[in-house]
A and B are shown apart, each in its own frame.
Chain A
Amino acid sequence: MTKIINIALVGNPNCGKTALFNSLTGSRQRVANYAGVTVEKKHGYFITPNNTKCTLIDLPGTYSLRSRSPDEKITREVVMDEIKDESKIDLILCIMDATNLSNGLRLILELKQSGKPVIVALNMMDIAKTRGYHYKLDELSKILDCEVVKTVAIKNQGINELLVAIDKAIPNLVQKPHTWSVSDAKGVRQYHAQVAQIIEKIKISEGSPSVWTDRVDNILLHPVFGMLILLVLLFLVFQSVFTFADIPKNFMQDCVDHLKDYVVGLFPGSLFGSLVGNGVIAGVGTVIVFLPQILTISLFIVLLEDTGYMARAAFLMDKIMGSAGLHGKAFIPLLSSFACAIPGIMATRTIENKNDRLVTILISPLMTCSARLPIYTLLISALIPSKTVLGFLSLQGIVMFSLFFIGIIFALLVAFVMKIFFFKGERQPSIMELPSYKIPGLKNVIIELIKPAKMFLKRAGTIIVSISVILWFLSTFPVAPIDAILPAIDYSFVGILGHYLHPIFAPLGFSWQVVAALIPGMAAREVVVSALGTIYALSGTEDAMQNGLGVLISNSWTLAMGASLLVWYIFAPQCASTLAVVKRETNSIKWPIILFSYQIVLAYVMAFLVYNVISILMK
């Protein structure tokens, strides 16, 4: 077998690197972590026209090899073969924005010093052409002493030419000794001077920046309208999660219910039928129906990212972030946390400063992740009347939005308090790039959407199946005595534990069934709904069997009780995977403990307040 060629993909942020990676590798991708450090390792595979197998390693975007953040450090270490147990890099593929040549060229000059062969993908050629940026590319290739290929990654253009160039480079991949060293401000100025000379030699015409982007920015970055548009946009995201995504969700719910009834009916009265039907199908089913909602919120995030609006949102939010002591960049991990805190926490790696990063990690779980949607949706539709306000806004949507909003406000407050008391010290520079607006590529959007879907389904298939089975077991055994007066579940382990812990949660208005459901919810929040379903179903309440959990809750719960549970879920540390990721990312047990403690205190106090205030008001 011939050797597999390892290619490192390097480039500035916002130059279309991810799009090129997706274009070259399609769905043949694998995400892992570098041993010891916690930076995501994204590998993709492709075969060149000459049948050489290549591994493409997508490295975090960077402006230099000087490594200011954990992310950028990895880029340098991989390029320089400094990581143990990683296969050596044979070739560097450097992607450069053709409309922003100087930033890209400085990076290439640094990369050339690694001694490795380099191929340049000059990306966004279509925009460069329309904007009038023309360069003598043969000359550039001669000066840099490497192949330069024109690409439009987002439209899959130039990919074949790039593959041919890689094929051409493969027979003579020679590694020279590296001559790179860390440069200070003076060193960066020298790179600037070198790049200015290169551009002078290759320039045919210097283009003009996108007028269109400026016009759009005049509105979207407007101090008043820009803010309003951002708010409306965020509100729209939540409305569509609640309304559009509800249609496929209800359909899936029906399918799951029928399947469950069918399976239980196949084995009447048997334990096996109950395990498969009430345990596995009901457990996984109640979770899987949230896939449309997760896809909806992920779609918005991908679109905002790919159009270039995300950076504008970060711009608009920068001052607010700054007043809580956060970096403007913190907005992006926090927004990702709406889908799930785990990718959000991993996205904090772009934040250079350790303290800024820690605070962002610690508040990310306060963003309402999609795993909380099941319980929110259930309680809101059960307890809040489905009315329209002002003719077009759904009242339920508004309540949902406020829950998200409360999470955000408290996240900022917590950050502010932490910054004052625990993370005093130097202020951090906040500089970011606002890329010009682009129309997202369909292929790229689809690939980026498949990722969270896969992750979610994998969780449903593994963690949630096992929890459902364990929960079914705990709530079925020990079996109730024959002369039992109370429902069967009262005699089971869940019943025992729920009753045992009930006094602690009684001040929050939680019933023992809720308390029992909180326990499996510790592993994954989305399980709580199915746990409640199982517990109520097994308590033998006719209502639950026939009309479902929603009807049962709207009939038997008070508003105060529902509100208290909702508030509990804004704050509660109900996710073992998040805590595990925090431990991995901070490399210490201290931070997950702090996170867990502050969240549980906050959840308890807030739920207590809400329950009691509403109870008094409703009297």
Chain B
Amino acid sequence: MDLINLANCNRYDIGIIKEINELNMYDKSCLSGGEVEARLLEMGFIEGARVEVLHLGAFGEEPIAIRINNSNSIIALRKNEASAVLLEKIKND
């Protein structure tokens, strides 16, 4: 199964998180030692969760606004942080 990086997703894409790993990040200088990973996890990212891309920012499609599972709140993140999240795409309009 092909995995797609959250940073490369289009609007309305839906996927299941397969891996959260900061070694996948574009810019690895961004804080090291599991820090980004821990922060993503604290904001609700977790392997197995369903992610839906809701909105993309105006400039360079950044930041990315997503919903995790059926949570009532939305998480916005920049591409670099999003690139630590790998998804298995399940829907694509």
Contact = CB atoms under 8 A, between A and B. Distances in A.
Interface of A: 14, 63-64, 66, 68, 97, 99-100, 102-103, 106, 127, 131, 133, 183-185, 188-189, 192, 206-210, 213-214, 217-218, 221, 223-224, 226-227, 311, 314-316, 318-320, 322, 328, 426-436
Contacts of B75: 431-434
Given A185-B38, A431-B43, A99 B71 contact: yes
Contacts of A131: 72
Contact of A188 (B31, B41, B73): B41
B78 A97 contact: no
Interface of B: 27, 29-31, 34-44, 46-47, 54-60, 62-63, 65, 67, 69-78, 80-81
12 contacts: A100-B72, A188-B42, A189-B46, A207-B70, A209-B70, A217-B55, A224-B58, A315-B63, A427-B30, A429-B81, A430-B63, A433-B73
Contact of A97 (B37, B70, B72, B81): B72
A102 B58 contact: no
Nearest to A188: B41
Contact of B71 (A183, A209, A218, A426): A209
Contact of A430 (B56, B67, B74, B77): B77
A68 B30 contact: no
Contact of B57 (A192, A213, A315): A315
A217 B54 contact: yes
B73 A223 contact: no
A432 B82 CA distance: 12
Contacts of A434: 65, 73-76
B46 A430 contact: no
B27 A436 contact: no
A432 B71 contact: no
B70 A64 contact: no
B57 A316 contact: yes
A429 B30 contact: yes
* 8 closest residue pairs by CB, A with B: A99-B72, A223-B58, A188-B41, A434-B74, A319-B59, A63-B42, A185-B37, A221-B55
Given A315-B63, A434-B76, 4 more contacts: A217-B55, A227-B58, A315-B57, A316-B57
A214 B67 CA distance: 11
Contact of B78 (A66, A224, A226, A318): A318
A431 B40 contact: yes
Query: Which of B39, B60, B73: most chain A Cβ within 10 A?
Result: B73
A210 B54 CA distance: 13
Given A185-B34, A318-B78, A319-B63, A223 B72 contact: no
Nearest to A12: B73
